[in-house]
Structure 1
Amino acid sequence: MRRRDLLKAGALVAGLAVGGQTLEGTAHAVPGAAARISLAGTDGYITIPGRAPVYVFGFLAVPPEKSVAELTAAYKGKAQHVAPVLGLGQDQDVHITLTNLGLVGRPDLVDSHTIHWHGFRTPATVFDGVPEVSVSVPIERRFTYFYRPHDPGTYMYHCHFEDVEHVQMGMTGIVFVRPAQDGSPTLDPLHRSTSYAYNDEDGSTAYDRHFAILLNEIEEREHDADEQIQEFIFTDYDPQYFTLNGRVYPQTILPNGHPSLPEQPVSALVQVNPGDRVLLRLANLGYEQHAMQLPGIPMKVVGEDATLLRSPSGADTSYITSTLYIGPGEARDVLFTAPRFNPGARVSTDARGPHNTYLLKNRDFRRLSNRGVPGLGGMATEVRVYQTPLPAQTVVGETYA
């Protein structure tokens, strides 16, 4: 089986962004500036309703100045799922150092780890992360990957060592590349946005807020077998949980960095203002196709697999849909305009004030349950449109308590 933000001002940021906002490695795409991000691979546990904690492998952001021994002492056994969202700039030099901390729950395993840039046009295999033709990182060792991404869009990254197992165990994340035209003020004079999904040259992919959401499944029997040193036959794959950013509903609507989910810090909640143009960066690193819907809000697909939807002659081939199909190893860039706040509709209230709620969910009702537990669960989250304006978004997937 094979699968295939840019802050508006400031200096280079790498690693952890705290304060309940988001956990990501991100870099300011200044010409000549390099992104330097430090990740570690290890194991740990995540929380899923209806069962004991689930054993996982995963990546997490770590301080770049620490030695391997210091990182091992502080972070071994604290895997994060999903991995930090990585935001890069087009033609920006990117250095990502991966440290393999080893596994607490399986000290008998001596598995190496890699970072595979899923979907990237890679000119040199040495940094591609496929261990047969590049470099894998043994336990208590580190390796720095180099890449200079030329093509904007939404991608994925994952471990490619024993990849069927390590991907299902949780070593997965989203990486996106901002286009060179970002910051251009004249392309979208009516909408007044300077952020774009692609180099569209006409402002058609401009957005105000963006959110990165990774779709996946959890086959709990495989995770349990891995923890208990047992074999799992992948032809028996029949997942019980369906996740967005490593969470199931209602976990998905908790804010970033919620204390009840210490190893699942990345929220899937979408909080917007009326009239906002919203970019959803969606990617699927599970093994099944999913059909996502946002009832009440039309979705416009402007990019597929990090490719702007234009014909060879330049004609616009984007499309509007009510159901978004996304297969294993695929990515979609979807725009929608947030509706006006409607006080006559059902109104909910949170700490930010009154809002209308729309469900972003899987069309298949069997994927909207947490292992049969009553009530909505699984692959669903909320799009909240607020009456009181939210502040401008500063990082991808920002949430407001």
Structure 2
Amino acid sequence: MHYVQLYRRALFALLLCLVGLPASAQSFRVQCPPVTTLHPTPPTTDPNPAGGSVKCQQIAGGDGYATMADGTQTYMFSFGPLSGLVDIFNGLPGTEPASVFNQVSTGVGIGDPSAATTFNGAVGLAPDPDSVPANQLTGHVDPRPIMDVGVMNGNIPAPMMAIDEDDEFFLTLTNVGMIMRPDLFEQHTVHFHGYPNASSFYDGVPDASVAINIGGSFTYYYLAPDAGTYFWHCHITPPEHLQMGMVGQIYVRPRQNRVASGTLYAGLVGQQADLRTACGSDILCSSPLPPANAATHAANKSGTPTLYAYNDGDGSTAYDVEYPVQIHGFDPNFHFIGMTFNPEPFVDMKDKHFLLNGRSYPDTVTQGPMQTVAADGTPHSSQPLPALINIPVGGKALLRISDLDVTEFQTLASLGIPMHVIGINARLLRDLSGNDMTYNTNSITLGGGESIDVILDASDTSKYTAGQVYYLYTPNLDHLSNDAENFGGLMTEVHICNSVNPSTKSCV
């Protein structure tokens, strides 16, 4: 308790210093322009013909706690949410359009993501008294709410991100420091693993870009690349920061989702006009055109337009509901030492806690976020994303599976519903002639840094009826428990429902 009191006093002194600084001297900032050269008008009033829009997100780099299924509370270095708090609490991506992100909080409904949280904008965003004219939104922030919300508010996995092809994505990382390790003046960065980023300045590798110090903010800029599932992490001392929990998932939705009617080939017009994704001359095109196209845009089981994992042109990657499945493993000894002042034994890292979306079975099937009591005595929703999979009768579920592990290969098996593997490492499985290379299997294996897109197909109503329960689990028996205990491990449930609520993904 004495240790925490000392930190609180130091934090209070820091806040007094920050509040006393003029706006131009404060190092916390956010950036989310409502319009840009590529998107000159807000999409709510005049959608840009090029498609996409401006999307923004703010995250904090710091530390926190996560609770394992066996009750063990594990310390971690981690990223926490500073925008989209309501969506984060509900297990959704925290990425917001500029119109939502650029809202100024009145102080009501803002705080650690919980059922009482009502604010989805950028934490700390405030009118700039030095702007001309005064009190414009220029990225000026009040550091007090940022520290109030960001300290000890890490998530495992890191806050999820989701954007659409042609979006411009502004991601602000704010380094709030680590309460449990004030001796460490750790910098943090964001590196999008496997993500085709045009500029090394925003790549997050500190040797070729920038790193963010404690008390500072930096806004990354990305133009959304090819559709697919990627993951991101801190690139400062990667073996340590990844093992400690600074990893998360980002996925990109395809242009084909914007097709209003007619044949799906219309959704590929933008792909062929974009030199990054055009097929026929570039062997690296992500979605080679199919040899034949006869499919049309339809409606899914939720009554909304069908969604697709890739720009397939033939409807082969259509799904009704999607779920991120982020596999992670922890070495509890490494995490315990990471909370102290001892050097970590990198060579001896051995994962013993195995997680799906930050949780182990049976917590993977709990819809509401777990509450972890942090060092300051307050509860935090450090693991807000469930891993329960609900599929409507006659429908399909897209699983965006990422392996965020540092030391282990991970295997997931589906019992009763075959896995249809459609993409690996954000690439649709097609050869250069557009021929189908997807396949069915009952298990997949990934190494750290890999992703696989899988569709669970329950469209055969003679086999799959409402009320049935199946399992997604690892056949590696030592990964079915946490540190040799009875609870935990890589397992979740797949439920067949009459229908699925598209916003909460719960059975109806």
Q: TM-score range by the shorter chain?
A: 0.7 to 0.9
For residue 322 of structure 2, the aligned residue among 193, 210, 218 is 210
The residue correspondences of 1:194-233 to structure 2 (distance < 5 A) are: 194-233=306-345
Residue in 2 that maps onto 1:147: 222
Maintained 8 Å contact 2:52/2:165: no
Shift of 1:45: 0.7
For residue 383 of structure 2, the aligned residue among 264, 284, 295 is 264
Residue in 1 that maps onto 2:12: none
Residue in 2 that maps onto 1:77: 152
Deviations 1:268-311 (A, max 9, x none): 11112111111000000102111110111111111000001110
For residue 405 of structure 2, the aligned residue among 248, 265, 286 is 286
Residue in 2 that maps onto 1:192: 299
Residue in 2 that maps onto 1:107: 182
Stretches of structure 1 lacking an aligned partner (at least 5 in a row): 1-13, 15-26, 346-353
Distance 1:342 1:238 in 2: 45
Deviations 1:36-65 (A, max 9, x none): 111111101111133541001111221421
Shift of 1:370: 2.0
The residue correspondences of 1:2-401 to structure 2 (distance < 5 A) are: 31=51, 33-50=53-70, 52-63=72-83, 64=122, 65=125, 66-184=141-259, 185-186=261-262, 187=264, 188-189=295-296, 192-193=299-300, 194-259=306-371, 262-287=381-406, 288-338=408-458, 355-374=467-486, 377-386=488-497, 388-391=498-501, 393-394=502-503, 398-399=505-506
What letter matches 1:394 in structure 2? S
Distance 2:320 2:481 in 1: 32
Stretches of structure 2 lacking an aligned partner (at least 5 in a row): 1-31, 33-42, 84-121, 126-140, 265-294, 301-305, 373-379
Maintained 8 Å contact 1:339/1:385: no
What letter matches 1:290 in structure 2? Q
Distance 1:144 1:344 in 2: 47
Shift of 1:220: 0.5
Distance 2:226 2:191 in 1: 16
Deviations 1:173-218 (A, max 9, x none): 1100011111324435486342110111111101110001111101
Distance 2:495 2:342 in 1: 43
Maintained 8 Å contact 1:291/1:364: yes
- Which of the pair has the greater relative contact order for Cα pairs under 8 Å at 6+ separation? 1
Distance 1:304 1:313 in 2: 18
Q: Tell me the secondary structure at the aligned position of residue 223 of structure 1.
A: helix
Shift of 1:107: 0.5
**Percentage of matched positions with identical amino acids:** 34
Maintained 8 Å contact 2:499/2:507: no
Mean Cα deviation higher: 75-84 or 186-195: 186-195
Larger Rg: 2
What letter matches 1:213 in structure 2? V
CA gap of 1:258–1:356, structure 2 versus 1, over 3 A, is farther
CA gap of 1:316–1:126, structure 2 versus 1, over 3 A, is same
Mean Cα deviation higher: 293-302 or 48-57: 48-57
Shift of 1:121: 1.0
Distance 1:262 1:341 in 2: 38
CA gap of 1:296–1:385, structure 2 versus 1, over 3 A, is same
What letter matches 1:306 in structure 2? A
What letter matches 2:258 in structure 1? G
Q: Tell me the secondary structure at the aligned position of residue 333 of structure 2.
A: helix
Shift of 1:338: 2.0
Maintained 8 Å contact 2:472/2:494: yes
Distance 2:328 2:173 in 1: 23
Maintained 8 Å contact 1:68/1:141: no
Maintained 8 Å contact 1:341/1:385: no
CA gap of 1:319–1:32, structure 2 versus 1, over 3 A, is closer
Maintained 8 Å contact 1:76/1:102: yes
CA gap of 1:199–1:340, structure 2 versus 1, over 3 A, is closer
What letter matches 1:237 in structure 2? M
CA gap of 1:340–1:206, structure 2 versus 1, over 3 A, is closer
Shift of 1:344: 11
Residue in 1 that maps onto 2:21: none
Maintained 8 Å contact 1:95/1:147: yes
Maintained 8 Å contact 1:55/1:224: yes
Shift of 1:341: 7.3
Shift of 1:118: 0.6
Residue in 1 that maps onto 2:99: none
CA gap of 1:161–1:190, structure 2 versus 1, over 3 A, is closer
Distance 1:112 1:285 in 2: 21
What letter matches 2:409 in structure 1? Q
Residue in 2 that maps onto 1:23: none
Q: Tell me the secondary structure at the aligned position of residue 315 of structure 1.
A: coil
Maintained 8 Å contact 1:303/1:334: yes
CA gap of 1:169–1:46, structure 2 versus 1, over 3 A, is same
Maintained 8 Å contact 1:292/1:325: yes
What letter matches 1:192 in structure 2? A
Larger fraction in helix:
2
Q: CA RMSD in A?
A: 2.4
Maintained 8 Å contact 1:341/1:355: no
